[in-house]
Amino acid sequence: MNPNPTKVVTRFAPSPTGFMHVGGVRTALYGWLFARKHGGTFILRIEDTDKKREVAGSIEHIVESLRWLGLEWNEGVDIGGPHAPYKQSERLASYQKYARILIDKGYAYPDPYTEEEVAVFRQRAEDEKRPFLYREHRPEVFGAWDGTKPLRFKVPMIKRYEWYDEVRGELSAGEEALDDFILIKSDGYPTYNFAHIIDDHEMGVTHIMRGQEFISSMPIYLSLYEALGIDRPRFATMPPIMAADGKKKLGKRDGAKDVLEYRDEGYIPEAMVNFLAFIGWNPGDEREVMTTNELIESFSLKHLHKAGAKFNEEKLLWFNHKHLQRLSSTEFEARLRAFLSTTDMQAPTYLAQVVPLLQARAQTLMEAAQMLTGGEFSFMAETTFPTKELLLQGAKADDVSVKTHLQKVITLLQDLASFDQGSVKEVIFPYATEVGRSAVLWPMRVALSGMEKSPDPFTLAGLLGRQRTLARIEKALQLL
């Protein structure tokens, strides 16, 4: 229970049924941002009461995904906390306790029917085109519950329920949604409907943030809060994530993949967080590229959209590029090295020298790694050497004038006080403009890279440094 009711407590409560897709991660992110914004607590709870649906390794995967994104929890599975354990399968005693309270109050009873009998009731309702309501078959007298039969809730009153949704405003639903749902199954595990209410209450959760698929069950949740005599928390319904065409909910075929796949493709967590935050929310101003701290500061449930928000991978790529560019070059290099170490690509010796180029161009760490190891910068090693044909190919000038120009380039560069991309450009560019740009810049570039395509000659000279630049031009001159 929450000893300090003004303190915000949110939770992310995934079921360990597979990988973490973007929808789940975004729910976690909003809960985390909201808790951080209000100096509150963020809990990671695992809802593993449906053993049939459980997928081995999911919990580790959830933990790894959230950690990668930096969404650290204050309490939860693997770190514990004042309300441990944080796995529902280990909290059965707690559900039993509340089940007994309900039985004692006359609000719970063992289901006397077999599954087959319930199936017949359901079929009959379907044949008669009526909604199936278990409560219409509620037995008159309740036996004692020995745990071998499902325990059902006896919904105390059939009435209309109203509640406030922090995103959608005033909502209400009536009797059609109220029924004697199962609290504890015959296998001893609670249902989601029961367990989450007990856990949220015991853990002092103040705000429940979850998908719209739970709205239709709100009356049964509200009737259970009432029967238990516990306060309702606040509710916030997340906007659904739609496929890029905006027409249907995002499915696996539209790119709803495992969030860790993005890490392996070279996306960085701050970009992913920024991108996810903007699916269904905005800060209420023009800003788009935001750090995680800026997101925390600006976050508010009031700016969550009611309607579905589109998932657009191109936008993710754009965010990633922007966030890569915001890193310091040391940080970029560190991230790139860490990324390379997870692949079979090897970092070449000149990695540090080409970092500025990679950082300006690559949209993902994978792209940077591929530029680095794919031969694009192989001119950085000593091995490349041009041919005469290539030196002249784009020069639009004969070998004699190309020779003169390269000699002039040597003279201009040899006495430069400081040698970098900018100072090289400052002396070469005016000369090239005067005598013909392609006649100077093409052969200079080819002399330095040995390649038909490469960065511009000033960048190359800056990367190679004075000695190697002059040596390569000298070598090229011998071809002419």
Q: Is 14 in the site for ligand GLU (CB under 6 A)?
A: yes
Residues in the chain: 480
**Shortest Cβ distance from residue 17 to ligand GLU (Å)?**
7
Catalytic residue among 51, 129, 247, 252: 252
Question: Do 345 and 367 meet the contact criterion of CB atoms below 8 Å apart?
Answer: no
Question: Do 108 and 99 meet the contact criterion of CB atoms below 8 Å apart?
Answer: yes
How would DSSP label each residue in 241-269?
Answer: EEPTTSSSB--GGGT--BHHHHHHTT--H
**Shortest Cβ distance from residue 205 to ligand GLU (Å)?**
9
Residues contacting residue 154 through CB under 8 Å, at least 6 positions apart: 106, 107, 108, 109, 138, 180
**Choices 10-18, 68-76, 124-132, 470-478; region in contact with ligand GLU by CB under 6 A:** 10-18
- The amino acid at residue 139 is P
Q: Is 413 in the site for ligand GLU (CB under 6 A)?
A: no
In the bound state with ligand GLU, the residue whose beta carbon lies nearer, of 35 and 409, is: 35
Q: Is 47 in the site for ligand GLU (CB under 6 A)?
A: yes
Residues contacting residue 264 through CB under 8 Å, at least 6 positions apart: 342
Residue nearest to ligand GLU (CB): 47
Residue 252 known to be catalytic: yes
Residues in the interface with ligand GLU (CB under 6 A) total 7
The H helix count followed by the E strand count for the chain is 18, 12
**Shortest Cβ distance from residue 181 to ligand GLU (Å)?**
15
Query: Which of 15, 191, 373, 449 touches ligand GLU by CB under 6 A?
Result: 15
Pairing verdict, β 182-184 and 234-237 = unpaired
Q: How many Cβ atoms from other residues are within 10 Å of residue 70's Cβ?
A: 13
| Structural tokens at position 290 | 């935001």
**Choices 13-21, 77-85, 98-106, 308-316; region in contact with ligand GLU by CB under 6 A:** 13-21
Half-sphere exposure of 414 (CA within 13 A, CB side): 11
In the bound state with ligand GLU, the residue whose beta carbon lies nearer, of 24 and 150, is: 24
Query: Which of 8, 13, 301, 440 touches ligand GLU by CB under 6 A?
Result: 13
Q: Is 26 in the site for ligand GLU (CB under 6 A)?
A: no
Q: How many Cβ atoms from other residues are within 10 Å of residue 154's Cβ?
A: 18
- Within 154-213, the residues that bind ligand GLU by CB under 6 A are 192, 196, 210
Positions touching ligand GLU (CB under 6 A) are: 13-15, 47, 192, 196, 210
Residues marked as catalytic: 252
